[in-house]
Amino acid sequence: MGLALKDNQTYCYGDYLTWPDDARYELIDGQAYVMSPTPDLVHQDVAGEIYLQAANSLKGKSCRAFIALVDVRLPKHDEANEQVDTVVQPDVLVVCDGGKLDKRGVRGAPDWLVEVLSPSTASHDQIRKRALYERHGVKEYWLVHPVDRLLTVYRLDGAEYGKPELYELSGETRVAALPEIVIQWDELVARLPNDY
């Protein structure tokens, strides 16, 4: 099951800013996708733990970790913010270039992004957003599959993502683009419900 389109119109960030706060959307190439309701507790626990470990690893460094909800604007060229037609809200992200940060969030590609898969967003995250992040030069993109206890990692190899690497959610996994970040899985996985 994928995310629904708001409609067939084309939008930009200027439109997005006028929409009510009680409805969540992402814009990809001007198409507005209705985001699922508030993520469940397991999703939040996984995203929160990854964020916490990343943020702790970056203390005293120039790179900064963030957790959703943060608007990441991905301009095609040098268009004004209001004209940007792609705005996403990854679950966890790290930005090393402070010039990309402003009061509205992030403008430009983060260095590392994590999406925790939910049944309602899995195809959106694995297909549409993977292609988007590759096109915009996100160095490393992680997809965490809590149900399958699996991690899929995409890393830029030139201008494209190489073959995805698959890991079990056990032991530890180092972020190649940010080697100071090592995510420890065992304690997190031990508290995930068996029926999830």
Distance CA 86, CA 2 (A): 18
**Domain ranges (residues) in the chain:** 39-190
Query: Rounded to 5 degrees, what are φ and ψ at 46?
Result: -65, -50
Please state the pTM of the whole predicted model: 0.92
Burial of 38 from C-beta contacts in 10 A (0-12 / 13-18 / 19+): exposed
Structural class in CATH, domain 39-190: alpha beta
Q: Which stretch of DSSP H or E encloses residue 133? A: helix 129-136
Q: Read off the pLDDT of residues 140-155 as tens digits, 9 standing for 90 and up.
A: 999 999 999 999 999 9
Cβ neighbors of 65 (< 8 A, separation 6 or more) are 51, 54, 55, 58, 92, 93, 94
Q: Read off the pLDDT of residues 62-88 as tens digits, 9 standing for 90 and up.
A: 999 999 999 999 999 999 999 999 999
Opening angle at CA 152, ends 134 and 84, nearest 5: 30
